[in-house]
């Protein structure tokens, strides 16, 4: 019997399953390689709108950094580090509050300082650049395949044919592709 069932074979799901396995838990990962992560631009950013999401991504980045030390950046498909967002002053203030709550290292620059640091950046005088240096850019498909390989090496069981659809709403639902059960403690 599994101690944890993780839903979603994207970056967050794979990182979570890998970390749980490293802590000695028996883990099954439900999903497929057509995750939201694989269809996104490949940016793993801490600049999100919810502290819980920021903390989850922060932990994912820790896992990824450990894997890059072991396997190398090229094998992982990581292409660069850091992320800049341009925000009005109110949004920048909200971002700063969230990032501080999650204990994320970041810097904010006014338009003049941002233009000096990044001359190619288009920024209005009333905007603020928020820079999170731990963020990553990845070749999403390559990176997902890399994480799947690591998950298998660590002993995470992968069940690709189970999840048909995840429906988000007031109460989230998981629609299964086939009948049967995967047993896990909740």
Q: What CATH number should be reported for the domain holding residue 165?
A: 3.50.50.60
Domain of residue 149 covers 1-42+140-186
Q: Name residue, tokens 């109110």.
A: 90
Q: Give the total number of structural domains in the chain.
A: 2
Whether 111 and 173 share a structural domain: no
Question: If 0-12 CB within 10 Å is exposed, 13-18 middle and 19+ buried, where does residue 111 land?
Answer: middle
Whether 31 and 109 share a structural domain: no
CB 155 within 8 A of CB 21: yes
Measure the CA–CA gap between 68 and 17, rounded to whole angstroms.
Answer: 17
Whether 129 and 179 share a structural domain: no
Q: What is the mean pLDDT of the chain?
A: 84
Across 176-182, average pLDDT: 58
Q: Is the pLDDT of residue 175 over 80?
A: no
Across 93-112, average pLDDT: 96
11-22 helix and 140-154 helix, angle to the nearest 10 degrees: 20
First to last CA, the chain: 12
Whether 144 and 127 share a structural domain: no
- Give me 4's structure tokens: 């944890």
User: For residue 94, what pLDDT is reported?
Assistant: 96
pTM of the complete model? 0.71
Q: Where do runs of H (alpha helix) occur along 51-139?
A: 51-71, 73-76, 89-101, 111-117
Whether 47 and 75 share a structural domain: yes
Whether 108 and 91 share a structural domain: yes
Which position has the higher pLDDT, 178 or 54?
54
Whether 48 and 133 share a structural domain: yes
Identify which of 1, 2, 18, 22 has the alpha carbon closest to the alpha carbon of residue 10.
18
Residues in CB range of 84: below 8 A, 6 or more apart: 114, 118, 121, 129, 130, 131
Whether 115 and 159 share a structural domain: no
Across 157-164, average pLDDT: 75
CB 15 within 8 A of CB 64: yes
């Amino acid at each position: 019997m599994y101690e944890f069932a993780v839903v979603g074979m994207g970056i967050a799901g794979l990182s979570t399953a890998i970390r749980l396995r490293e802590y000695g838990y028996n883990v099954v990962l439900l999903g497929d390689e057509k995750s939201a992560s694989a269809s996104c631009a490949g940016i793993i950013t801490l600049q999100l709108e919810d502290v819980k999401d920021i903390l989850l991504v922060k932990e994912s980045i820790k896992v990824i950094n450990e894997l890059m030390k072991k396997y190398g950046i090229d094998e992982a498909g990581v292409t660069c580090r850091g992320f800049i967002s341009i925000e009005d002053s109110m949004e920048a203030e909200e971002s700063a509050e969230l990032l501080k709550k999650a204990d994320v290292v970041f810097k904010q620059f006014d338009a003049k300082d941002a233009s000096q640091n990044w001359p190619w950046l288009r920024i209005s005088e009333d905007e603020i650049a928020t820079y999170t240096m731990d963020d990553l850019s990845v070749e999403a498909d390559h990176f997902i395949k890399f994480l799947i390989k690591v998950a298998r090496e660590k002993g995470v069981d992968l069940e690709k044919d189970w999840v048909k659809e995840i429906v988000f709403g007031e109460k989230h639902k998981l629609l299964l592709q086939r009948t049967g059960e995967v047993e896990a403690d909740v």
